[in-house]
Amino acid sequence: MDTSYIWHLLYLHRKKSIAVCLLLALICPDLRAQSTMKYRRIHLEDYDDKTIRYGFLFAAPATRFNIKYSDAYVSSDSAHQLYSPNNVGFRVGFVMSTILSDHFDVRVTPAVSLYSRSIEYKYPGGTSRKEVRESTWLEFPVLLKYKSKRRMNSRMYVVGGGSLGIETNVRRREVAGSSRLLTKNRDLTVEYGIGFEQFFEFFKFAPEIRFSHGLVNLFEPNQGNNANIGLQKLRTHTVTLYLNFE
């Protein structure tokens, strides 16, 4: 009598075996995915809990003058082309940030900048002339920073604000009455830019691109330099690549 039920017993076990195989097929991919998932450590987890943070920066500014021509450029100036090319300088300074909220900071970045701005004159017949204004400036930018939500060890941000610049290597008595290009030694600029923060184990690295537009007319008429009669206003324009370390 028992032999008549052998097939039925095998049939029941076959259903269970199929169900178990299907269940394992569904579970195993998830187990494999979890086993291959790598752990990523979050660096400087308490960074945003600090009220004040410090750092330093290196920067490479590409700067020039924005020129506004005078009426004498057409009527009296012998130069047929007058322009200011971009020149690369150097900047080094400090970074100090204080937190306002989860997304806003106030950042101050005092720095020393070495500039070499110039004006080139081209005359009929192929002759040319170049006047270079080399200078050292102390700059005090005050910026409002908006930062995105942090994703693991990185996030984006934008900054905007203003900066006061003071030229430090001015020798007015030596250049007055000479044929050199004269400019004022105070500047006020509007600044804005975008950056990317990457957190490492011991520090934060933030490359940034920032644009600066001067508000002050730096041009000073010089009676000893007849080549500048075509100039009316000189304002600074700078594009800077920053490397910030905090």
Residue 186: φ, ψ to 5°? -135, 135
Q: What does the pLDDT look like over 87-127, one tens digit per residue?
A: 999 999 999 999 999 899 999 999 999 999 999 988 887 78
Specify the pairing of strand 90-99 against strand 111-122: antiparallel
pLDDT confidence tier of residue 223, bands split at 50, 70 and 90 = low
Give the C-alpha distances (Å, rounded to integers) separating 43 from 95, 135, 171. Answer: 20, 40, 49
CATH number of 47-245: 2.40.160.20
CA distance 232 to 216: 12
The residue among 79 and 156 whose pLDDT is bigger is 156
Bridge-based pairing of strands 111-122 and 81-83 is antiparallel
Q: Please give the helix or strand (H or E) that residue 13 lies within, else none.
A: helix 6-36
**Confidence band of 29 (pLDDT split at 50, 70, 90):** low
Confidence of residue 142 (pLDDT cuts 50, 70, 90): very high
pLDDT in tens, 66-88: 999 888 777 766 677 888 999 99
pLDDT on residue 23: 52
What's the pLDDT at 35?
47
Of 171, 211, 175, 179, nearest in space to 193 by CA: 211
Where in the chain are the domains? Answer: 2-36, 47-245
Which residues are paired to 98 by β-bridges?
Answer: 52, 106
